[in-house]
Amino acid sequence: MIRSIFVCLLTTAVLLTVSVVKAQQTARIPRIGFVAGSREGTSIGAFQRGLRDLGYIDGKHIQVEYRYAEGNVDRIPTLVNELVQLKVDVLVVITLIGIRAAKEATKTIPIVMVTTQDPVATGIIDSLGRPGGNITGVTTLTRDLNGKRLELLKETVVGISRVGVLWDTNAGPGPAIAFKEYEASAGGLKIQLQSLAVRGPNPDFDGTFQAAANGHISAMITMNNLVLTRYRKRIADLAIKNRMPSMNELSTYVEAGGLMSYAANNADQYARAAVYVDKVLKGAKPADLPVEQPTKFEFVINLKTAQQIGVTIPQSVLFRADKVIK
């Protein structure tokens, strides 16, 4: 009798152990959807490192579904909807077009955004402190730095009066709004702006730089967007060829050969997005997570480019640089 009871208990224990092991093996790991306009210029490596630093190994603790539009803006809503249909646990979206598409596609899946725009002014969230709804994340506030970029450009290139602004007309309403903001700042600095508009996904840069030469433009600002990011080396090479000093909205343009940039550290923002993913997976509600703003901005100068185009950077400007590429 005792032996029968022992065998029964042993069998039950074995079955329970097998059941637990099977449950662990088949346990569903959280899925994260990641949508960006391009693989390039997205600092995806910083996002991945951020996840690893928090203890998440892709394929073990989480599964990340990456989707890239590869410069085609029109594809972004489709990619967002694809991930919504997969019922991902968190959706990380980079472009304003993607964030709006995600907002329309789902009211339940938490959305972590990384945006250069003011998410309140663009109607994405209710406020930075209490976003409301299912969207939170970080904003780099690129547009708030327009005036400072013009000031630095004027201090660096003595005597400039006409500045061209390179932007993509096929990138939604954001760049057109940004151009008006640049114009507002330029007036106080007595700088005249000229639009150097291109149209993605296949911009005519040669024609645009010829227009800049014809318009006697002495310096330029390049707006960052997913199409222009893909061509940042081409833009830098043409600027050098035309001896055109350039101010950029992202340091990767300077690393490609642009003269200067003034912006938040892009990698830091993507690493912070990983922190938001962690909080959401642990149960936090996006509506209660304040949207973060950058606290530090980087001024980057490429001295090699300065020498190539014959521009001497004043010492007063060099001293303020956070990074100098030689």
End-to-end CA distance of the chain: 86
pTM of the model: 0.80
Burial class (CB in 10 A: 0-12, 13-18, 19+), 122: middle
Taking only the tens place, the pLDDT of each residue in 274-311 is 999 999 999 999 999 999 998 889 999 999 999 999 99
Q: Answer yes or no: is pLDDT of 159 > 80.
A: yes
Which comes out higher in pLDDT, residue 187 or 307? 307
Q: Are 287 and 140 in contact, with CB atoms under 8 Å apart? A: no
Of residues 98, 46, 43, the one with CA closest to residue 73? 98
Lowest mean pLDDT among 104-108, 157-161, 174-178: 174-178
What is the per-residue pLDDT for 22?
46
3-state secondary structure of 168: strand
Taking all residues of the chain, what is their mean pLDDT, rounded to a whole number? 89
Q: Which residues make Cβ contacts (< 8 Å) with residue 160, sequence separation at least 6?
A: 153, 154, 191, 218, 219, 245
Strands (E), the chain: 31-36, 63-68, 90-93, 111-115, 135-139, 162-168, 192-198, 219-222, 246-248, 260-264, 297-302, 323-325
Lookup result for tokens 């596609």: 105
